[in-house]
Amino acid sequence: MANPVENVPLLDVNRDNLPYRDEFIEALTGVVDSGRFLFGPDVVELENEVAAYSEVDNAVGCASGSDALLLAMMALNIGPGDEVIVPSFTFFASVSCITRLGATPVFVDIRPDTFNIDAEKIEAAITPRTKAIIPVHLFGQCAEIDRICQIACTHDLIVVEDAAQAIGAAYHSRPAGSWGLIGCFSFYPTKNLGGMGDGGMLTSLDPATADRLRLFAGHGMRPRYYHKVVGINSRLDTFQAAVLRVKLRHLPDAVQSRQTIAARYDRWLSEAGVVAEDRLVLPYQDPSAFHVWNQYALRVPGGRRDELRAHLSDRSVGSEIYYPVPVHAQECYRDLNFDHSGLVETKKACAEILNLPIFPSMTESEQRRVVDVVASFYSASARMVA
Protein backbone atom coordinates (compact mmCIF):
# COMPACT_ATOMS: atom_id res chain seq x y z
CA MET A 1 0.00 0.00 0.00
CA ALA A 2 1.36 3.40 -0.95
CA ASN A 3 2.06 5.69 1.92
CA PRO A 4 -0.24 8.72 1.64
CA VAL A 5 2.46 11.02 3.05
CA GLU A 6 5.09 11.91 0.49
CA ASN A 7 6.98 15.08 1.41
CA VAL A 8 8.34 15.29 4.91
CA PRO A 9 9.94 18.62 5.80
CA LEU A 10 12.89 18.89 8.15
CA LEU A 11 10.65 21.05 10.25
CA ASP A 12 7.46 23.06 9.87
CA VAL A 13 7.49 26.12 12.10
CA ASN A 14 4.24 27.37 10.62
CA ARG A 15 2.38 24.19 11.45
CA ASP A 16 3.84 24.18 14.98
CA ASN A 17 2.60 27.75 15.48
CA LEU A 18 -0.83 27.41 13.87
CA PRO A 19 -2.74 26.11 16.95
CA TYR A 20 -1.77 29.26 18.86
CA ARG A 21 -2.60 31.75 16.12
CA ASP A 22 -5.43 33.41 18.03
CA GLU A 23 -3.28 33.70 21.14
CA PHE A 24 -0.49 35.34 19.11
CA ILE A 25 -2.86 37.83 17.49
CA GLU A 26 -4.33 38.77 20.85
CA ALA A 27 -0.90 39.19 22.44
CA LEU A 28 0.47 41.18 19.49
CA THR A 29 -2.61 43.40 19.37
CA GLY A 30 -1.91 44.22 22.99
CA VAL A 31 1.59 45.38 22.07
CA VAL A 32 0.35 47.43 19.09
CA ASP A 33 -2.18 49.17 21.29
CA SER A 34 0.28 49.75 24.13
CA GLY A 35 2.82 51.46 21.86
CA ARG A 36 5.57 50.09 24.11
CA PHE A 37 7.71 48.37 21.52
CA LEU A 38 10.81 48.24 23.70
CA PHE A 39 10.91 47.49 27.43
CA GLY A 40 7.20 46.67 27.40
CA PRO A 41 5.59 44.70 30.23
CA ASP A 42 5.77 41.48 28.17
CA VAL A 43 9.58 41.65 28.26
CA VAL A 44 9.65 41.86 32.05
CA GLU A 45 7.05 39.11 32.34
CA LEU A 46 8.93 36.83 29.95
CA GLU A 47 12.15 37.39 31.89
CA ASN A 48 10.35 36.39 35.08
CA GLU A 49 8.72 33.38 33.44
CA VAL A 50 11.96 32.10 31.87
CA ALA A 51 13.73 32.62 35.20
CA ALA A 52 11.05 30.56 36.96
CA TYR A 53 11.07 27.90 34.23
CA SER A 54 14.86 27.63 34.46
CA GLU A 55 14.84 27.80 38.28
CA VAL A 56 17.03 30.88 38.55
CA ASP A 57 16.29 34.25 40.16
CA ASN A 58 17.43 36.48 37.32
CA ALA A 59 16.92 36.64 33.58
CA VAL A 60 17.88 39.37 31.11
CA GLY A 61 16.41 39.58 27.63
CA CYS A 62 18.66 40.39 24.68
CA ALA A 63 18.56 40.42 20.89
CA SER A 64 19.73 36.86 20.15
CA GLY A 65 21.44 33.79 21.50
CA SER A 66 24.65 34.98 19.85
CA ASP A 67 24.39 38.27 21.72
CA ALA A 68 23.69 36.40 24.96
CA LEU A 69 27.02 34.60 24.59
CA LEU A 70 28.87 37.77 23.61
CA LEU A 71 27.35 39.71 26.52
CA ALA A 72 28.36 36.93 28.90
CA MET A 73 31.97 37.17 27.72
CA MET A 74 31.90 40.99 27.90
CA ALA A 75 30.45 41.02 31.40
CA LEU A 76 33.20 38.64 32.52
CA ASN A 77 35.87 40.95 31.09
CA ILE A 78 37.15 38.26 28.74
CA GLY A 79 39.74 39.72 26.40
CA PRO A 80 43.19 39.38 24.83
CA GLY A 81 45.40 36.89 26.65
CA ASP A 82 42.44 35.00 28.12
CA GLU A 83 41.59 31.45 27.15
CA VAL A 84 38.11 29.98 27.09
CA ILE A 85 37.48 26.24 26.81
CA VAL A 86 34.78 25.32 24.31
CA PRO A 87 33.84 22.45 21.97
CA SER A 88 34.45 22.83 18.23
CA PHE A 89 31.43 20.67 17.35
CA THR A 90 28.87 23.44 17.82
CA PHE A 91 27.29 26.41 16.13
CA PHE A 92 29.75 29.20 15.29
CA ALA A 93 28.35 31.63 17.90
CA SER A 94 29.62 29.49 20.80
CA VAL A 95 33.14 30.41 19.66
CA SER A 96 32.85 33.78 17.90
CA CYS A 97 31.88 35.37 21.23
CA ILE A 98 35.41 34.51 22.38
CA THR A 99 37.41 35.52 19.31
CA ARG A 100 35.44 38.74 18.77
CA LEU A 101 36.81 39.98 22.09
CA GLY A 102 40.36 39.02 21.18
CA ALA A 103 40.43 36.05 23.55
CA THR A 104 41.54 32.55 22.54
CA PRO A 105 39.25 29.55 22.29
CA VAL A 106 40.82 26.30 23.46
CA PHE A 107 38.98 23.43 21.85
CA VAL A 108 38.20 20.25 23.74
CA ASP A 109 36.97 17.14 21.96
CA ILE A 110 33.44 15.78 22.30
CA ARG A 111 32.15 12.46 23.61
CA PRO A 112 31.31 10.14 20.73
CA ASP A 113 27.97 9.17 22.29
CA THR A 114 26.34 12.50 23.27
CA PHE A 115 28.31 14.79 20.91
CA ASN A 116 28.81 17.10 23.92
CA ILE A 117 32.16 18.31 25.27
CA ASP A 118 34.04 15.49 26.99
CA ALA A 119 34.30 16.54 30.64
CA GLU A 120 37.18 14.14 31.23
CA LYS A 121 39.30 16.01 28.67
CA ILE A 122 38.79 19.49 30.09
CA GLU A 123 41.43 19.47 32.82
CA ALA A 124 44.24 18.78 30.36
CA ALA A 125 43.26 21.94 28.45
CA ILE A 126 43.42 24.26 31.46
CA THR A 127 46.35 26.70 31.62
CA PRO A 128 47.09 29.70 33.86
CA ARG A 129 45.34 31.84 31.22
CA THR A 130 42.06 29.89 31.28
CA LYS A 131 39.18 32.06 32.48
CA ALA A 132 36.01 30.23 31.55
CA ILE A 133 34.40 27.12 30.10
CA ILE A 134 31.50 27.24 27.65
CA PRO A 135 29.82 23.84 27.58
CA VAL A 136 27.21 23.58 24.83
CA HIS A 137 24.09 21.53 25.54
CA LEU A 138 23.90 20.23 21.99
CA PHE A 139 20.69 19.01 20.34
CA GLY A 140 18.70 19.52 23.57
CA GLN A 141 20.75 17.31 25.87
CA CYS A 142 22.90 18.70 28.67
CA ALA A 143 26.64 18.13 28.71
CA GLU A 144 27.97 16.53 31.93
CA ILE A 145 27.40 19.83 33.61
CA ASP A 146 27.78 18.58 37.20
CA ARG A 147 31.30 17.34 36.49
CA ILE A 148 32.13 20.44 34.44
CA CYS A 149 31.06 22.77 37.27
CA GLN A 150 33.11 20.69 39.69
CA ILE A 151 36.23 21.05 37.52
CA ALA A 152 35.57 24.78 37.10
CA CYS A 153 35.23 25.19 40.85
CA THR A 154 38.50 23.35 41.51
CA HIS A 155 40.38 25.58 39.07
CA ASP A 156 38.52 28.81 39.83
CA LEU A 157 36.98 29.07 36.37
CA ILE A 158 33.63 30.47 35.33
CA VAL A 159 31.05 28.34 33.53
CA VAL A 160 28.85 29.94 30.86
CA GLU A 161 26.30 27.47 29.53
CA ASP A 162 25.37 27.66 25.86
CA ALA A 163 21.80 26.44 26.33
CA ALA A 164 20.59 27.84 22.99
CA GLN A 165 19.24 24.42 21.98
CA ALA A 166 18.28 23.28 25.43
CA ILE A 167 15.63 25.41 27.13
CA GLY A 168 13.69 23.05 29.40
CA ALA A 169 16.44 20.43 29.43
CA ALA A 170 17.87 19.32 32.77
CA TYR A 171 20.71 17.35 34.31
CA HIS A 172 20.06 15.52 37.56
CA SER A 173 16.68 17.32 37.44
CA ARG A 174 18.33 20.73 37.53
CA PRO A 175 17.54 22.93 34.50
CA ALA A 176 19.97 23.89 31.76
CA GLY A 177 21.14 27.46 32.34
CA SER A 178 20.97 27.18 36.14
CA TRP A 179 24.30 25.38 36.68
CA GLY A 180 26.88 27.88 35.50
CA LEU A 181 27.28 31.49 36.52
CA ILE A 182 25.47 32.43 33.31
CA GLY A 183 23.07 30.59 31.01
CA CYS A 184 22.54 31.67 27.39
CA PHE A 185 19.32 30.99 25.47
CA SER A 186 18.22 31.60 21.90
CA PHE A 187 14.70 32.21 20.63
CA TYR A 188 15.61 31.75 16.96
CA PRO A 189 12.45 30.39 15.28
CA THR A 190 13.71 26.80 15.05
CA LYS A 191 14.81 26.54 18.67
CA ASN A 192 12.55 24.73 21.16
CA LEU A 193 11.19 28.08 22.34
CA GLY A 194 11.16 29.87 19.00
CA GLY A 195 9.98 33.41 18.37
CA MET A 196 8.97 35.08 15.13
CA GLY A 197 12.34 36.69 14.61
CA ASP A 198 15.47 36.95 16.71
CA GLY A 199 15.63 36.95 20.47
CA GLY A 200 17.74 35.71 23.33
CA MET A 201 18.03 35.58 27.08
CA LEU A 202 20.64 35.34 29.80
CA THR A 203 20.02 33.67 33.14
CA SER A 204 22.01 33.83 36.35
CA LEU A 205 21.58 32.83 39.96
CA ASP A 206 23.71 35.83 40.90
CA PRO A 207 21.90 39.20 40.94
CA ALA A 208 25.14 41.21 40.58
CA THR A 209 26.07 39.24 37.45
CA ALA A 210 22.58 39.71 36.01
CA ASP A 211 22.82 43.43 36.68
CA ARG A 212 26.16 43.61 34.89
CA LEU A 213 24.75 41.71 31.91
CA ARG A 214 21.88 44.17 31.72
CA LEU A 215 24.34 47.06 31.89
CA PHE A 216 26.35 45.68 28.94
CA ALA A 217 23.17 44.97 26.94
CA GLY A 218 22.15 48.64 27.28
CA HIS A 219 25.27 50.41 25.98
CA GLY A 220 26.77 50.36 29.46
CA MET A 221 24.57 53.35 30.10
CA ARG A 222 23.58 54.17 33.66
CA PRO A 223 22.01 56.60 34.29
CA ARG A 224 20.79 57.81 30.91
CA TYR A 225 23.59 59.25 28.72
CA TYR A 226 26.27 58.33 31.24
CA HIS A 227 28.26 55.31 30.07
CA LYS A 228 30.08 53.24 32.68
CA VAL A 229 31.40 50.58 30.27
CA VAL A 230 31.39 50.13 26.50
CA GLY A 231 28.42 47.87 26.05
CA ILE A 232 26.29 47.10 23.01
CA ASN A 233 22.67 47.66 22.08
CA SER A 234 21.01 44.28 22.46
CA ARG A 235 17.32 44.32 23.30
CA LEU A 236 14.57 41.74 23.18
CA ASP A 237 11.67 43.63 21.64
CA THR A 238 8.16 43.54 23.05
CA PHE A 239 6.63 41.84 19.99
CA GLN A 240 8.99 38.90 20.36
CA ALA A 241 8.40 38.74 24.09
CA ALA A 242 4.62 38.68 23.56
CA VAL A 243 4.95 35.80 21.07
CA LEU A 244 7.38 33.94 23.31
CA ARG A 245 5.11 34.19 26.34
CA VAL A 246 2.40 32.40 24.35
CA LYS A 247 4.92 29.75 23.23
CA LEU A 248 6.33 29.29 26.73
CA ARG A 249 2.86 28.36 28.03
CA HIS A 250 2.84 25.49 25.53
CA LEU A 251 6.52 24.55 25.80
CA PRO A 252 6.03 21.56 28.14
CA ASP A 253 3.60 20.04 25.60
CA ALA A 254 6.02 20.74 22.74
CA VAL A 255 8.84 19.06 24.66
CA GLN A 256 6.64 16.04 25.32
CA SER A 257 5.82 15.78 21.62
CA ARG A 258 9.51 15.89 20.74
CA GLN A 259 10.24 13.16 23.30
CA THR A 260 7.44 10.98 21.91
CA ILE A 261 8.76 11.43 18.37
CA ALA A 262 12.34 10.62 19.42
CA ALA A 263 11.24 7.46 21.25
CA ARG A 264 9.24 6.39 18.21
CA TYR A 265 12.25 6.92 15.92
CA ASP A 266 14.34 4.76 18.27
CA ARG A 267 11.72 2.01 18.20
CA TRP A 268 10.84 2.10 14.50
CA LEU A 269 14.42 2.36 13.27
CA SER A 270 15.35 -0.59 15.48
CA GLU A 271 12.37 -2.58 14.19
CA ALA A 272 13.40 -1.76 10.62
CA GLY A 273 16.69 -3.56 11.26
CA VAL A 274 18.90 -0.65 10.23
CA VAL A 275 20.46 -0.02 13.63
CA ALA A 276 23.96 -1.48 13.80
CA GLU A 277 27.50 -0.29 14.50
CA ASP A 278 28.22 -0.21 10.75
CA ARG A 279 24.84 1.17 9.65
CA LEU A 280 22.96 3.63 11.86
CA VAL A 281 23.77 4.50 15.44
CA LEU A 282 20.81 5.91 17.37
CA PRO A 283 21.18 9.00 19.55
CA TYR A 284 22.46 8.17 23.02
CA GLN A 285 20.60 9.42 26.05
CA ASP A 286 22.63 10.16 29.14
CA PRO A 287 20.56 8.61 31.98
CA SER A 288 21.15 11.76 34.07
CA ALA A 289 19.81 14.04 31.36
CA PHE A 290 16.29 15.20 30.60
CA HIS A 291 16.61 15.46 26.82
CA VAL A 292 14.37 17.98 25.02
CA TRP A 293 15.26 16.84 21.49
CA ASN A 294 15.86 20.04 19.54
CA GLN A 295 17.50 17.62 17.12
CA TYR A 296 17.34 13.89 16.50
CA ALA A 297 20.93 13.12 15.52
CA LEU A 298 21.95 9.83 13.97
CA ARG A 299 25.46 8.66 13.29
CA VAL A 300 25.97 7.11 9.85
CA PRO A 301 29.32 5.32 9.81
CA GLY A 302 31.13 3.81 6.86
CA GLY A 303 31.30 6.97 4.75
CA ARG A 304 27.69 6.60 3.59
CA ARG A 305 26.14 9.64 5.28
CA ASP A 306 25.96 11.83 2.18
CA GLU A 307 24.61 8.94 0.10
CA LEU A 308 21.82 8.35 2.64
CA ARG A 309 21.08 12.07 2.72
CA ALA A 310 20.77 12.16 -1.08
CA HIS A 311 18.48 9.11 -0.93
CA LEU A 312 16.23 10.97 1.53
CA SER A 313 16.35 14.18 -0.48
CA ASP A 314 15.48 12.36 -3.74
CA ARG A 315 12.35 11.10 -1.98
CA SER A 316 11.45 14.52 -0.55
CA VAL A 317 12.39 13.68 3.01
CA GLY A 318 14.18 16.53 4.75
CA SER A 319 17.38 16.08 6.73
CA GLU A 320 20.26 18.28 7.81
CA ILE A 321 23.88 18.08 8.86
CA TYR A 322 24.57 19.84 12.14
CA TYR A 323 27.47 20.52 11.66
CA PRO A 324 29.40 19.79 8.48
CA VAL A 325 32.54 21.76 9.43
CA PRO A 326 33.87 22.09 12.98
CA VAL A 327 34.28 25.68 14.14
CA HIS A 328 38.09 25.48 14.46
CA ALA A 329 38.29 24.67 10.72
CA GLN A 330 36.15 27.57 9.50
CA GLU A 331 37.67 29.78 6.83
CA CYS A 332 37.56 32.90 9.03
CA TYR A 333 39.87 31.19 11.53
CA ARG A 334 42.37 29.90 9.00
CA ASP A 335 45.08 32.36 10.06
CA LEU A 336 44.69 31.62 13.75
CA ASN A 337 46.08 28.08 13.39
CA PHE A 338 44.17 26.54 16.27
CA ASP A 339 45.48 23.33 17.75
CA HIS A 340 43.06 20.68 16.53
CA SER A 341 45.19 17.60 17.07
CA GLY A 342 42.96 16.27 19.85
CA LEU A 343 39.67 16.77 18.06
CA VAL A 344 39.33 13.24 16.71
CA GLU A 345 35.69 12.69 17.71
CA THR A 346 34.76 16.20 16.56
CA LYS A 347 36.00 15.51 13.03
CA LYS A 348 34.40 12.08 12.98
CA ALA A 349 31.04 13.52 14.09
CA CYS A 350 31.11 16.12 11.30
CA ALA A 351 31.57 13.30 8.79
CA GLU A 352 28.94 10.97 10.25
CA ILE A 353 26.14 13.06 11.72
CA LEU A 354 22.71 13.18 10.14
CA ASN A 355 19.75 15.00 11.65
CA LEU A 356 16.27 13.67 10.84
CA PRO A 357 13.06 15.73 10.85
CA ILE A 358 11.70 16.41 14.33
CA PHE A 359 9.16 19.08 15.28
CA PRO A 360 6.22 19.02 17.70
CA SER A 361 3.47 18.84 15.06
CA MET A 362 5.14 16.05 13.07
CA THR A 363 2.61 13.26 12.43
CA GLU A 364 3.04 9.53 12.87
CA SER A 365 2.57 8.96 9.14
CA GLU A 366 5.29 11.48 8.34
CA GLN A 367 7.56 9.67 10.72
CA ARG A 368 6.66 6.31 9.23
CA ARG A 369 7.61 7.72 5.83
CA VAL A 370 11.01 8.88 7.12
CA VAL A 371 11.75 5.46 8.63
CA ASP A 372 10.56 3.64 5.49
CA VAL A 373 12.80 5.74 3.27
CA VAL A 374 15.79 5.19 5.58
CA ALA A 375 15.06 1.45 5.58
CA SER A 376 14.77 1.38 1.78
CA PHE A 377 18.27 2.85 1.50
CA TYR A 378 19.70 -0.14 3.31
CA SER A 379 17.52 -2.76 1.63
CA ALA A 380 18.46 -1.31 -1.78
CA SER A 381 22.14 -1.55 -0.94
CA ALA A 382 21.63 -5.08 0.43
CA ARG A 383 20.17 -6.08 -2.93
CA MET A 384 23.12 -4.51 -4.73
CA VAL A 385 25.55 -6.58 -2.67
CA ALA A 386 23.52 -9.77 -3.14
> Which amino acids are annotated catalytic?
191
Of 58 and 96, nearer to ligand PLP (C-beta) is 96
Residue 186 in contact with ligand PLP, rule: CB under 6 A: yes
Please pick, from the candidates 91, 239, 338, 378, the single residue that binds ligand PLP as defined by CB under 6 A.
91
Selected binder of ligand PLP within 88, 96, 116, 165 (CB under 6 A): 165
Q: Which one of the spans 90-98, 230-238, 255-263, 305-313 is the region binding ligand PLP (CB under 6 A)?
A: 90-98
Mark the segment that binds ligand PLP (CB under 6 A) among 2-10, 50-58, 89-97, 303-311.
89-97
Number of residues that bind ligand PLP (CB under 6 A): 15
Does 94 engage in binding with ligand PLP (CB under 6 A)? yes
**Of the residues 17, 88, 90, 204, which one makes contact with ligand PLP according to CB under 6 A:** 90
**Which residue among 64, 141, 209, 295 contacts ligand PLP (CB under 6 A)?**
64
Select 65 or 105, whichever has its Cβ closest to ligand PLP. Answer: 65
* 3-class DSSP string for the chain: CCCCCCCECCCCHHHHHHHHHHHHHHHHHHHHHHCCCCCCHHHHHHHHHHHHHCCCCEEEEECCHHHHHHHHHHHCCCCCCCEEEEECCCCCHHHHHHHCCCCEEEEECECCCCCCECHHHCHHHCCCCEEEECCECHHHCCCCHHHHHHHHHHCCCEEEEECCCCCCCEECCEECCCCCCEEEEECCCCCCCCCCCCCEEEEECCHHHHHHHHHHHECCECCCCCECCCCCECCCCHHHHHHHHHHHHCHHHHHHHHHHHHHHHHHHHHHCCCECCCCEECCCCCCCEECCCCCEEEECCCCCHHHHHHHHHHCCECCECCCCCCHHHCHHHHHHCCCCCCCHHHHHHHHHEEEECCCCCCCHHHHHHHHHHHHHHHHHHHHHHC
Residue nearest to ligand PLP (CB): 65
* Nearest distance in Å: CB 187, ligand PLP: 6
Residue 65 engages ligand PLP in binding (rule: CB under 6 A):
yes
Q: Please identify, among the stretches 62-70, 105-113, 210-218, 242-250, the one whose residues bind ligand PLP according to the rule CB under 6 A.
A: 62-70
How far is the CA of 244 from the CAs of 173, 194, 250, 258, 330, in angstroms?
Answer: 24, 7, 10, 18, 33
Least gap, CB of 199 to ligand PLP (angstroms): 7
54 vs 165 by CB, closer to ligand PLP: 165
Options 27, 78, 85, 93; binder of ligand PLP; rule CB under 6 A = 93
Shortest distance (Å) from residue 236 CB to ligand PLP? 11
54 forms part of the interface with ligand PLP (CB under 6 A): no
Strands 58-62 and 296-299: unpaired
Which of 188, 239, 296, 323 lies at the binding interface for ligand PLP (CB under 6 A)? 188
Considering the complex, what minimum distance in angstroms separates the CB of residue 304 from ligand PLP? 26
Return d(Cα 200, Cα 372) in angstroms, integer: 37
Q: How far is the CB of 15 from ligand PLP (least distance, A)?
A: 21
What does the binding site for ligand PLP look like in residue numbers (CB under 6 A)? 64-66, 90-91, 93-94, 136, 162, 164-165, 186, 188, 198, 200
